[in-house]
Amino acid sequence: MPLKDTFSMRPPRADQFAMSPLSKFLGSPSNVATKKTDNKRRLKLLRSYAPDWILTILLAVVFFALNSVHGFRRDFSVNDETIRFPYAVHERVPDLALYFIALVAPLVIQLAVNLVTVRSFWDYHNSALGLILGLAITGAITQFSKITVGRPRPDLLSRCIPKTGSQNSTYGLSTDAICTQTDQSIMLDGWRSFPSGHSSLSFAGLGFLSFYLAGKMHLFDNRGHTHKAWISLTPLAGATLVAISRTMDYRHHWHDVVAGSILGLVVSYFAYRQYFTSLASPMSHRPHSPRVPREENILPTSVQDAQRFRDSDDGEQVELIDGGVPRPDPVSLKDHWTEGESAASNEPVG
């Protein structure tokens, strides 16, 4: 099926001309009282997720705090060829670029996809929270592993600059005592090879984005559209390039890169499933229902109320609709994304 057919749009309804995509995303009901009620409930929803945000922030603090901790330093051999590579002053993917690739870019892309598809405030909240949580968990685990494992980087001897004529002790290995390097930040980072932080964080951020796109595209709908797979897997290709660059800069052994990539991908899926349904679900484009139930569990009785119901509930109406009359399978992704809205507006009046 051509890409344009997959994204085919149904004839617009009259209420769609009255609201722009941005206003639908933010929610702008005409009734002032209803808008205040929706805002109060939205505030309660955000408060219900306060523990999630607090934990996420704490993990992020741990990630940055552990960066300055003096961890374990394994003994090494001055004759070990795996740690005799040159020290790259300029990295292909510096830390600032990594943060943009793993955090900023996914946040922007998820917002754009949200506006094009479901146009839901709650969907974007969950996607942002899941992304940041996954990065925070991955970063904390990565940093803790680095300082406890203490594996030498491939460029350790170039960092260390051993004393002239240095040799391993009899029946033993060398320690950092033979190093003449005066820059302690370079030395501190020399024993943090396992696992690769760039690999774990890039796969945590871009991996979450990949799962998010797969859910919105209904990748596993048993219809076999190849373009869906390509779009969904593109972020993982970017993460792979970041991981490979770490071996090109001689910052990590290949084992470190593989371990970091697996860690980031696993945690990203864990974070995704905390706030979104299974990728195999027919409702994979929607997040889990909010933790705060609606005060009035009733379906709308007009087209305007249907839009207001969808924007204020942001996902919970799925439970009500799923318990209703069976409907035919959607014929396009546009039908998937607007399924909740169309079903609600077709309910009998009265």
List residues with catalytic annotation.
198, 252
In angstroms, the CA 195 to CA 163 distance is: 29
Note the Cα 262 to chain centre separation in Å: 14
Q: Using CA atoms of 35, 37, 39, 41 in order, give the dihedral in degrees to the nearest 10.
A: -150
In angstroms, the CA 196 to CA 138 distance is: 11
Paired tokens of 190: 């020399």
In angstroms, the CA 131 to CA 107 distance is: 8
